[in-house]
Every structure is written in structure tokens, then in C-alpha cells.
Amino acid sequence: VADEPAEFDGLHGLRPGSRVGHYRLRRLLGKGGFGHVWEAEDTVMERLVALKLLKSEFSGNEKFRQRLFREARAAGRLHEPHVVPIHQCGEVDGHLYIDMRLIDGTDLDGVLSGQGPLGPARAVAMVRQIAAALDAAHHAGLIHRDVKPANILLGRDEFACLLDFGLANAASDAKLTSTGFTVGTFAYLAPERLGAPGVVDHRADIYALTCVLYECLTGNPPYPTGDLPAVIGAHLTAPIPRPSQGRPHIPAAFDHVIARGMAKTPADRYASAGELAAAAERALSTPNQNHAETVAAGTQPAWLAGGPPPPAGAPPHAWQPIPPPPWGGPVIPPARRTNRALIAGGIAMVVTLVIVGVVLVLNVTHEDQPPVAAPTTSTSPSPSPDSGPFTGSYTAQFGAFADIDGKPRDGSQPTKESWRTRSVCRSNTCVATASRTSGKTSLPAFVFDQVGGSWVGVGTDSAFCDGATTERFIILTLRPQPDGGMAGDLYLETPWGCFDKATAKFARTGGVDVTGLPDPAGQAPRVVSPAEALYGRYHGQIVHSRNGTPGTWPGAKQDADFGVKTYCLRSGDRCMSYLWGSDGSQPLVFANGEWTRNSEYASSCPTGGKGRVKISGQYPLPQPPQDPVTHLVGHGVQKEIGTTCTDSDFDETFDRTGD
């Protein structure tokens, strides 16, 4: 099956230098089943991007367009460094397009073709990173459906990224299949995607990633791909291959990893991609484990070619694997039972495919179905309320508090607390309830949600800031660590600009008595707020005026560059968007469809006198909603109290400049 056609209708005549909307094409990077990828210059944002122009046959299919835009926007919200960031998507000059970060690297397919097997340590280091991307997507309700080496990019220092989220789902939904084109490469398709019994959910991605792991170890896909009927039949009925067979340099423990990850029945596979990665890590010999850690530690995000690094003060994008569940080790699936009806059905389907010449990938996920479905058969009972990966007793260590620039607060000392947690994962989400049993650094209780590979808890209380009491957001973010603990940061943020942060480390000390802890399965689902679309880097400009006339006094017009992070309460109705930059910080609180700025601070007037400045402003949510928010506009009033300065109005804008 040809997966990369040479040309396609609607894009003939495009060459380096051609214009497509506000993009100027520079060079063709590659051709795929969905379209061509160009290195292009975004003349509006003045940056280089990877621009995927889709085949013309997709442009007229409204169902495909709607699903593509919905999934691409959802993927664009994933704050996981191993997902290639999507800047925007849409249609321009009759072409559907996806604008992505330009990665300086090579796809894994090219690496395997040119260099052969990666070796166990490199293979595991790569799989760990892609597993992080998949876990983040699965927790957000996204299934990739096309995990394969051609969709994995290896950048500098072997930093691995996964791309093309949403394309396979959109094509499946619209039933766009034809000769010479498949929704997924057959070498990596799970049996349930080929008609075998079973719900098509996130475990199809785990099967595909296991196939990729096998290929990285051996240099070949699990089943020969030269004969389409044969490879389909192999996925359905053939024994699972053993990577160590005839390859003494591959530890035999990988045979068990591949056997479980490629189990014919979804319920017999690993529950998450992170669990697969952790099992692969354990399969390495000790020297190879150390090598894999070295490779993983040396990976760095492949930033836009020639572009700037992340904003100063932004947290490092370091991947940490989800630890193996504390309640047991790897389970080897039982011996496969021959199902004559399944074999006969598989053979009949293969014959039909060959005769008709059209590939139909069955059991697609439709718009009226959830994107990630939990198993419903009696062989997969609902998990207990305490079966999630964040369950146990923990010792929490918080570092000394520092300001937004990392300068230690005078007199602040590290502290220690004790915590109890219980968690559960159902369908596409994980929730944990946590209670502090000693200490007073943070809130006495949190409800955590797993968002983008991290556990995030957000709450509010009141605090003293710059001479007055005000609301305070308390944000605790934790990422799973290889030792089964958690590490992250604690942020204390107020609308008046007071800000403190400290490192946080949770070390698991044992099991937990859940008495008095709320059942995480009984928590209301987390509501995603539109305010979460305000993130990344922005250029801000504020212009003061009096009586409608722009001011000319010093400081009447100011420009600044900011990094922005947004955290929301689980209800989604109230959020803190914190903007920080070299010239200071600016907090915005989101509620009722708009951000507000309400701050007060001591100041002196250039023309004489000291007093207080009180600022209030409103920044309505852009309509229609943007994701990410590219242009935010606000208006407000700055009052001068106790000085010879006079009040003024102001208009403020924030324009997005990058991730």
C-alpha cells in the first residue's frame, strides 16, 4: 500500500517562493498520505513554521473539516513537550492547513532505514518520551490512531516528538479511505481496528507504540509488510513475535513487554503508555538502564529552528515517566485461544479488501461517541477508588519560597508535611483527593486532576498582600518520578501581584488509610475553561489617556514582553492568568467571560508626592473564542490616591508571539 503519493490535486504548481495566504513556502520537507509538509515563513508572526497542506479531496468534506479542526485545537492545548505544538489550523486559498512548530530533526522512519535498530537503551529512551505524549493526549480524551515511526520526530540530543494528532480520527469519521491510502499504516494497527472484537480506545495507541518499540529493537516491524492480506491476518491471529529470538544483545525480558503490549485483546495490554514505558525500562539490564537514563537526561526540546528559547523563568520541559502502579508488576497475557469465527471473519475481510481495492478501517470513533472509551466487558471490571497511580501516604518537602525571578525570600526555610492521597483513573481522566495531616505550607486539602502528564491541584484562600487582605490562588503541580514519588512546584499568586513559589517533592512512604478521604470517583468532572487558551509568550502594550487624548507624559505608553500561565479551579469558572516578564508581573483573574485586573500598590508621582495607585481593567474573552488566544484587548482606569498625579484611562493589548 503506497502511503506517500508523489503528487495530489489542488497543490500542483506550488514551489519554493509560492504564497499561500500569509505563508511564503521555502522548501518541501516531506510528502505523506494526508498532504505535503513545507517549511514556510509566517509573514504575520515573522517566524518559520512547518505548514501541512492537506490533499484537495479533504477540503470539500465538511465532516472531515469539523473533526480535524476540533481535534487539532484539542491537541494544540496539550502542554506536553513531546507533542509537536500546533499553532493554528484553518483554510486559506482553498487549502486546509495545519501550522506547526518547525522541528530541526529527522523522523524515526528515516533513522531506522538509514541506521538500523536503535539498540535497547536508545529504543527505551525514545519510547519513554512518546509515551509521555500519548498519556497526555489520552488524559485529554484524544486518541492518535496513527502512531508509527514516520510520525515520530527525533530532534537534537534525541529529543522525540509525536505529530499528526487528529488527522487519522478526522479521516475515519468522514470515512475517507481509498486505494493507495490508509488511515493508519497496517504494520502498527491493533486487531480491534481490523475488525476483531473490542472497543477502539487509547489501548490501540499502546499496541501501535509497542510495535514501534519492537521495530526500534530489531530494525523490522513485528510482521512482514510486503503482503497486505498476510499482515492483516498476522495482527488478527499470528503469535506475537519475540524480539530476543536470534538476537542475544536484546534482553529476554523484552519478550514479555512486547507480548503484553501487543496482546490481541485490549484488556490484556498495559493500561497506559507510561506503564508500557516503565516495563520497558525494567526490561533493560542495569548498564543499559543507566544508558537510557543518560540519553533521556540529555534530551532537550527541539525549539523552532533559529528561534528563541522558552521565556526566562519558564519551567524546564523534562519528561518523567509515569511510574509502574504500586499494586503489582507486569502481567503476561494468557495463551491466546483460537477463535474460529474470528479467523474466518478475518480471512473473509482480507479477501474483500483485496477484491474491492478499498481499505476500510473498522470500528471508527464517531462524533457521537466519546473519543476514549473504557472497556465495558465483564473481563474489565471498574477500578476501585484507590487503584490510581497517586494513592498512598507521602512525605512532602517544600523548598524555601522565592519570588518570581527566583530570588529567595528573606527568612523563608524549607518545610516538611505529611499527606494522604487516594486516586482513580476512569475512561480518559484520573482524579486524586488529598489531605494534609501535618504542616501548614499549602492548603489542608486538594483535589488533583491529571492534566498533560502532571497532577494539578488549584485552590484559593485569603492572604495579606501589600498592606491589605486579598484573594490568593494556591497551585500545586506534580509530575510522576521514576522512584514512584512526585516532584513539581507550589505557586502562591494574588490579584495584587504578590507571588511566591517553592519546589515540591512528594516521597511515597507506604499505603494509606482512606478513612475520611473523599472518594475521587465521586468528584465532579473537571471543567475546561476557555481561559486556559491564554498561555505562551505575549507582547503587551498599554497606552494611557485623559479625556480621550493619548498621554504624552513619561510612562504614558509602555511596551513589555511576558510569559503567561493560566490555572483554573476545577469548576472552570474562575482562573488566574499570571503574566511575568523582565519589567515585572501582571495578574489577571478570569470569571464570567472576562479577565479583570484589580491591583493596588504604593507609588510615588513623578511630579511630586507619594501615595497609592489603584488599577482596575476588563479584558473580555475574544469572540469567537480563540485557542490559543492570539489577541487580547482590555480597557481600564488608573486612579492616583494621595499624590499630585491625576487619574487616567488606559487601553491595553496582548499579542501572542509564541509558545
How far apart CA 427 and CA 201 sit, in angstroms, is 9
Measuring CA to CA, which residue among 33, 36, 32 is closest to residue 15? 36
Q: What is the CATH number of the domain that holds 640?
A: 2.40.128
Give residue-wise pLDDT tens across range 428-464. Answer: 678 999 999 998 887 889 999 988 778 999 999 888 8
pLDDT band at 7 (very low <50, low <70, confident <90, very high): very low
Higher per-residue pLDDT: 444 or 11: 444
135 and 280 together in one domain = yes
Is the pLDDT at 33 greater than 70? The verdict is no
pLDDT value, residue 366? 32
pLDDT by residue (tens digit) across 348-379?
433 333 323 333 333 333 333 333 333 333 33
Closest by CA to 38, choosing from 57, 16, 64, 65, is: 16
Which pTM does this prediction carry?
Answer: 0.48
Integer angstrom CA distances of residue 638 from 575, 594, 644, 646, 648: 23, 19, 14, 9, 5
Instruction: Return the minimum-mean-pLDDT range out of 331-345, 500-514, 645-659.
Output: 331-345
Query: Does residue 343 form part of some domain?
Result: no
Residue in 177, 172, 180 with CA at minimum distance from that of residue 204: 172
pLDDT in tens, 569-626: 999 989 999 998 877 788 999 999 999 998 877 777 666 667 778 889 999 999 988 8
Q: Which helix (H) or strand (E) holds 113?
A: helix 108-115
Which three three-digit cell numbers place residue 254? Answer: 523484552
Please report whether residue 365 resides in a domain: no
Residues sharing a CB contact under 8 Å with residue 559, sequence separation 6 or more, in sequence order: 539, 540, 541
Query: What is the rounded end-to-end Cα distance, in angstroms, of the chain?
Result: 37
Q: 3-state class of 437 per DSSP?
A: strand
Q: Which of 99, 107, 135, 146 is catalytic?
A: 146
Handedness of CA 410, 397, 323, 274 (dihedral sign): negative
Stretch among 7-11, 273-277, 569-573 having the lowest mean pLDDT: 7-11
Q: Select from 299, 326, 342 the last residue of a domain.
A: 299
Counting the structural domains of the chain, the total is 4
Give a yes or no: residue 550 inside a domain: yes
At 575 the pLDDT is 95
Average pLDDT in the 314-334 region? Answer: 28
Closest to 209 in 3D by CA, of 141, 128, 268: 128
Residues 468 and 417 in one domain: yes
3 in any annotated domain = no
Q: Are 579 and 564 in contact (CB under 8 A)?
A: yes
Q: Assess whether pLDDT exceeds 80 at residue 3.
A: no
Q: Which span out of 201-210, 540-549, 554-563, 641-650 was modeled with the highest average pLDDT?
A: 201-210
Q: Cα–chain-centroid distance for residue 395?
A: 28
Are 43 and 141 members of one domain?
Answer: no
Out of 522, 549, 584, a domain closes at 522
pLDDT tens digit string along 126-145?
999 999 999 988 888 888 88
Q: Is 368 a domain residue? A: no
Are both 31 and 65 inside the same structural domain?
Answer: yes
Please check whether residue 318 lies inside any domain of the structure: no
The C-alpha cell of 173 is what?
469519521
CATH number at residue 136: 1.10.510.10
Please indicate, yes or no, whether residues 235 and 253 belong to a single structural domain of this protein. yes
Q: Which of 77, 101, 125 is the last residue of a domain?
A: 101
Q: Could you tell me if 419 and 484 lie in one domain?
A: yes
Quick one: 62 and 121 in the same domain? no
Check whether residue 45 and residue 190 sit in a common domain.
Answer: no
CB count within 10 Å of CB 655 equals 15
The bridge status of strand 152-154 relative to strand 610-620 is: unpaired
Task: Band the pLDDT of 166: cuts 50, 70, 90.
Answer: low
% of the chain with per-residue pLDDT over 70:
77
Convert the pLDDT of each residue in 205-264 to its tens digit.
999 999 999 999 999 999 988 788 888 999 999 999 999 998 989 999 999 999 999 999
Q: pLDDT for 602-615, tens place per residue?
A: 777 666 667 778 88
Indicate whether 260 belongs to any domain: yes
Q: Are residues 534 and 507 in the same domain?
A: no
pLDDT on residue 304: 31
Least confident of 72-86, 87-101, 265-279: 72-86
Q: Over the stretch 177-186, which tens digit does the pLDDT of each residue have?
A: 443 334 347 8
Domain that holds residue 76: 18-101
Judgement on whether residues 45 and 120 belong to the same structural domain of the protein:
no
Q: How far is CA 638 from the centre of its chain?
A: 39
**Least confident window among 294-298, 525-529, 575-579:** 294-298
**What is the pLDDT at residue 370?**
34
Helix residue ranges per DSSP H, 310-407? 340-356
**Which among 74-88, 443-457, 639-653 has the top mean pLDDT?**
443-457
Query: Which CATH number characterizes residue 42's domain?
Result: 3.30.200.20
Q: Does residue 271 have a pLDDT over 80?
A: yes
* More confident position, 553 or 340: 553
* Host H or E run for residue 275: helix 273-283
Which of 333, 58, 302 lies closest to 203, judged by CA? 333
Mean of the per-residue pLDDT values for the chain? 78
Give the mean model confidence (pLDDT) for residues 407-419. 92
Q: Say if residue 79's pLDDT is above 50.
A: yes
93 is catalytic: no
Looking at the fold, whether 265 and 150 belong to one and the same domain comes out as yes
How far apart are alpha carbons 260 and 258 in whole angstroms?
Answer: 5
12 falls within a domain: no
Both 539 and 603 in a single domain?
Answer: yes
Assigned C-alpha cell, 98: 495545519
CA 403 to chain centre: 27
Q: Is 52 annotated as a binding residue?
A: yes
Gap between the Cα atoms of 647 and 638, Å rounded: 6
